[in-house]
Chains A and B, each alone.
Chain A
Amino acid sequence: MAIASREFNELRLDEVSRKFGNLNALNGVNLTIRRGEFIALLGPSGCGKSTALNCLAGLLQLTSGSIWLDDKRIDLLRPEERSFGMVFQNYALFPHMNVRKNIGFGLKMKGETKANTERKIDEALALVRLGAQGEKLPGQLSGGQQQRVAIARAIAIEPPLVLMDEPLSNLDAKLRLEMRAEIRRIHTMLGATTIYVTHDQDEALSLADRIVVMSDGQVRQVGTPEELYARPSRADVAEFMGYRNLIRATASARPDGQMAIMVGGTPVTGHAINVVAGAPAVAAIRPDDLSPHPEGAIIATVESAEYRGRDFYGIAKMESGQELYFRSEDKVSQGETLKLGADPRRVLIYAETAA
């Protein structure tokens, strides 16, 4: 099975906006997606990622802007005229149809011949490894199986674009890992362009070719998982990508070309992203990279700590009152005063934004 029909080169969102009353759920989103890419829309709840997906599917209409498939404008088409595949958060399987009918529904609507429909259902069932379950009703399947049916239904119509709306959020942790691998495998096999909405950065990092980080209805950064993990372009993106410690202070230049911020009189050195000396700045550090160190610049008192296998993870309070998340190889106890430090290559320093 291949996505031979209806190929396209790029999908383009042009100044896409959607308002709900006075709320700007999407605010001038521009995005270009190339054929065959696996794109993750990542962001906290309410950031507009699901709105964006629903606008792509045609379930929501734009307030302004346009969506283009090469040079064909699609945002004015009804959802049933777009022929995209979609996997819904709660699967949205048709409860009164068995698995085969669910998967064949889109083909039937397209007026596919009976023989072709049956063949494509068989292929889709084989692809999601549900060959034996074809006659069952969705209510008789486990969550993971329902998920597979939902995926099979979305790919059976051989869509140019597959949309997935937090498809794994209803599964337990173990099944989620398993399905994540399945989704990646199916994508690799079919090469269908996929847009995947999630609030889970691990999912986005492991699945996507490119990640689109959104907040407040706007695209904040687009990049490969590696870029986003190592070099978030903004402090808020960094925070969402796991840089839980944000320390605010004034930036100062270092002779070796690096930047530092002053915390309690001692400098914390880091990699400058977009900051000039003398301006207010934010240093972002992952909990994993912040550990007790003899030359650590940050003095903080342990509030609580828990053992998580190899290491201890804890919260410590600085003199300013700010709480920091840190990792320690040795046991720490409450009330203990630590000197915390981080490898300058792992510290990112941003300009403080007005927000």
Chain B
Amino acid sequence: MTQHQPASEKLWSTVIWVLVIFFVINLFAMIASVVVSSFGTRWLGTWLPAGLTTRWYSSAWDEFQLGEVLIVTFQVVGAVVFFCGVLGVPAAYALARRDFPGKNIVMLLLLLPMMAPPITFGIPLATVLYQTGFGGTLSGVILANLVPTVPFVVLIMIPFIEQIDERVEAAARVFGAGTWSLFRYILLPMLAPGILAALLLVLVRTIAMFELTFFTAGPANQTLVVALYYAVNAAGVRAVQSIDAMAVVYMVTTLVWLLIALRFVNPTQIVARAKRSDAH
């Protein structure tokens, strides 16, 4: 496309780039203002704070009991990732390899919790969890977080499994592998990259999952994002910088895992995960 472009097309593309750059600048400025604030001493009516300090981090750590919150967060995330793998991967295998009456209904059943916003099903779910005694407990938080993530793993794994040649599995069976050996020696190693990618995405989503955790967590088992919400909501009680310090801790926790995840997946996969799955 090196040939002459009409002026109108050039203008059009300039406008588009200005929009994109404007968006990205604002996004980074927003993040930067949180980071700067968390390291600032006094920041009133100026471009930058009067001085730099790290004391907000130690105060945030104590005030918000960040140590405990982080432990809870990783307990929840770890359990969710584990059960997602255990429940999701075998289900994805079944759906990728077998055609059976009612398969469409099963696919729809899995698509719904992933597509429906957590608020919509979160309240009835929280109600049921409180009725059954899971509400406010760590298990309740884990169960609630599994609802959208198990289907997510299933739908992201199906194309991964479909691209494995079925004859490789047939070979394993002919050479004496039962279902368990097939999984252990053939499928698990071959699917490892896909499973890793799916579970990393689950991990990132679970750290950032606010609504379901918010509805089901008690005071003792808040995750980082819920603790952050309470802190921001009660602004005025604590110093703004302290809340910002906590926000930075949250950002770092999330973005580190995001960067790791992006080594294995394409960014568009994070939103366009079910792109082709509805066609099956």
Binding site for B on A (CB under 8 A): 57-59, 78-80, 82-86, 88-90, 92-96, 105-106, 108-110, 153, 157, 163
By the criterion CB–CB under 8 Å, are A94 and B174 in contact?
no
Q: Which residues of chain B are near A80, meaning CB under 8 Å? A: 173-178
Q: A79-B170, A95-B168 are in contact. Are A105 and B189 (CB under 8 A)?
A: no
By the criterion CB–CB under 8 Å, are B170 and A88 in contact?
yes
Besides the contacts A80-B176, A85-B175, A109-B175, what 10 more A-B pairs have beta carbons closer than 8 Å? A58-B174, A88-B170, A92-B167, A92-B170, A94-B171, A94-B172, A96-B190, A109-B181, A153-B175, A163-B174
By the criterion CB–CB under 8 Å, are A105 and B174 in contact?
no
By the criterion CB–CB under 8 Å, are A83 and B176 in contact?
yes
How far apart are the CA atoms of A89 and B170 in the complex, in Å?
12
By the criterion CB–CB under 8 Å, are B186 and A94 in contact?
yes
By the criterion CB–CB under 8 Å, are B165 and A59 in contact?
no
A90's contact among B167, B173, B174, B178, by CB below 8 Å, is which? Answer: B167
Return the chain A residue nearest B168 by Cβ. Answer: A92
- Shortest CB–CB separation between residue A44 and chain B, in angstroms? 22
B185 within 8 Å of A (CB atoms)? yes
Q: Which residues of chain B are near A84, meaning CB under 8 Å? A: 174
Which one of A58, A80, A108 has the greatest number of beta carbons of chain B within 10 Å? A80
By the criterion CB–CB under 8 Å, are B168 and A106 in contact?
no
- Shortest CB–CB separation between residue B187 and chain A, in angstroms? 10
By the criterion CB–CB under 8 Å, are B176 and A106 in contact?
yes
How far apart are the CA atoms of A96 and B175 in the complex, in Å?
16
Q: Which 3 A-B pairs have the closest CB atoms?
A: A109-B176, A106-B175, A92-B167
By the criterion CB–CB under 8 Å, are A157 and B165 in contact?
no
By the criterion CB–CB under 8 Å, are A105 and B168 in contact?
no
Q: Digit string of B9-36 for contact with A (CB within 8 Å is 1, else 0)?
A: 0000000000000000000000000000
B173's contact among A78, A96, A108, by CB below 8 Å, is which? Answer: A78
Can you pick out 14 interface pairs between chain A and chain B where the beta carbons lie within 8 Å of each other?
A59-B173, A79-B173, A80-B174, A82-B174, A86-B171, A89-B167, A92-B167, A93-B171, A94-B168, A94-B171, A109-B175, A109-B176, A157-B175, A163-B174
Among residues 159 to 195 in chain B, which have CB atoms less than 8 Å away from a CB atom of chain A?
165, 167-168, 170-178, 181, 185-186, 189-190
Q: Which residues of chain B are near A59, meaning CB under 8 Å? A: 170, 173-174
By the criterion CB–CB under 8 Å, are A86 and B185 in contact?
no
- Shortest CB–CB separation between residue B184 and chain A, in angstroms? 11
Q: Which residues of chain A are near B172, meaning CB under 8 Å? A: 94, 105
